[in-house]
Chains A and B, each alone.
Chain A
Amino acid sequence: MSFEFFLREAWNGFRRSGIMSVVSLVTVTVSLVVLGTFLLAVFNLGAVMNSVGSKMEIAAYVDKTIDEYTASTYMLELTKMEGVDSVKYISKEEAWENFKRDFEGRLDLQEIMKENPLPNAFVIKVKNPTLVTAVAKKISNIPEIDEVRYSGRLADRFQILMDAVRLGGLILVFLLILATLLIVINTIRLTVIARQTDIAIMKLVGATNNFIKWPFMLEGILIGIIGSALSFVILKASYDLITMQLLRSMPFIPLVTSRSELFMIYAGVALTGVALGALGGYISVNSLLKELEQ
């Protein structure tokens, strides 16, 4: 009985507040769209950076005095190394063939060199661009590895950039959520103040504070749910449209299109909306009740 009553009260409150409800709803929706847009941007930036990073490879050249069979046995050791994604072995013959193919017609290699001057090598991909330096150092510690080449300074800079993006994104998301909360509290507070008489009468006829709070919290949740749904529709429609257009013209951009990842973002935004609605309703009705008690 009671919960049904609260729900009905919340719905009636929402309906009767008319323009105020619409204002809160639009505010919440817009705030959530801004939050969602930002999250999508951060995730996409992350995806782009990861794909750039994954193109960073480490080349490890094996000591020329070591025979081919022994060299190939380091494959396993490298693969097991922490942070390593994949290891490709390139024998010196293979490398030589590649080299010759690349320079065919431009150089008469047979004339210059009769013998293959290249070492056996490994091309190592790391799981995460930030690991490049660490992995490269570890590999160079293997005595039989003659030389390790990687774009060290680039990798280091990349790591700094990634850290900055991650930290900046986190701070901005936090600030955005805070701003959204304040906006929601403020707008719900207006609807609460508009019903100050209702609250005063409720107290007069002996309603407990919790009883008074529930409908307003549910109303906040209701605004949160509807706002979340609207912002989801807006976000999804515009994101799908934008990615479709972008992928058509620039298919190489690694945009976030995986359903599960997008679902996480949308669900996060929606949950934030509902939580903000509930919290906003609670905080605004609570502060008004405190004022009434004084």
Chain B
Amino acid sequence: MIVLRGVTKIYPNGVEALSGVDLSIGKEEFVFIVGPTGSGKSTLLKMLYREELPTSGQVVVDRLNISELKKNQIPFLRRNIGVVFQDYKLLPMRTVYENVAFALQVLGASRTYIRRQVTQALELVGLLKKAKCFPGELSGGEQQRVCIARAIVNNPPLLLADEPTGNLDPATSWEIIHLLDKINKRNTTVLVATHNKSIVDGMRKRVVALESGRVIRDQQLGVYSNVI
């Protein structure tokens, strides 16, 4: 599903966010990318949906080489990737339903198809009853679930989550992670970038640890840190 070969990313200001990263993630895996702030987690995710380009090395997502992708092909790459953000990135002037439907409208989907998919997605995240609410009327956890519903409404094979629990309390964080796990079990590859130790330790999934832009550990059934 995802292959990174010798990926280095140096930002225009000279910061080396990633250096020589090799990584391979298979279909339907659930992987935590962990590491302190500034270790390159976000950069790694951004390259997968081509928000950023690698300075050198190869990034291949679903057999597409990101560097070779033409500008007008980017939208079609993104339609196969759902992205969940720490700050949700919901449209404040649209209802929950409209926010989720938006992701399908831009694909030019029919209204009946949109209704069916949005209803399913909202049901999955448990927010069908709040479909007519505006984001401002929801709690942080609920907003994050709307964001997840929007990310998966198109049934993408890959779901990326950048610090999805960063703004949430522990109990709500667990709800969100369980939701992501549920989505993973419906045959979606899930990548979660996080520095939430208790969640990583509790889930016992594959863990890729980054430090200063390098992969320092790649472990199945891993934990946040080997240092006790």
Contact = CB atoms under 8 A, between A and B. Distances in A.
B71 A204 contact: no
Contacts of B89: 197, 200-201, 204
A202 B108 CA distance: 13
A206 B76 contact: yes
B102 interface: yes
Contacts of B106: 202, 205-208, 211
A1 B75 contact: no
Interface in B20-74: 49, 71-72, 74
A197 B89 CA distance: 8
B105 interface: yes
Contacts of B93: 16
A1 B111 contact: yes
A206 B79 contact: yes
A2 interface: yes
B108 A206 contact: no
Contact of B108 (A1, A198, A201, A205): A1
Given A206-B106, A208-B72, A211-B106, A198 B91 contact: yes
A205 B72 contact: no
Interface in B100-135: 102-103, 105-108, 110-111
Interface in A173-225: 197-198, 200-209, 211
Given A198-B91, A201-B102, A207 B75 contact: yes
B78 A204 contact: yes
A5 interface: yes
B209 interface: no
A293 B71 contact: yes
Contacts of B75: 203, 206-209
Contacts of B77: 206
B160 to A, nearest CB: 11
A206 B78 contact: yes
Interface string B142-171: 000000001000100000000000000000
A206 B107 contact: yes
B11 to A, nearest CB: 13
Nearest to B151: A205
Contacts of A203: 74-75, 78
Nearest to A13: B93
Interface of B: 49, 71-72, 74-79, 83, 89, 91, 93, 102-103, 105-108, 110-111, 150, 154
24 contacts: A1-B110, A5-B105, A5-B108, A198-B91, A200-B89, A203-B75, A203-B78, A204-B78, A204-B89, A205-B102, A205-B103, A205-B106, A205-B154, A206-B75, A206-B76, A206-B77, A206-B79, A206-B103, A206-B106, A208-B106, A209-B72, A209-B75, A211-B106, A211-B108
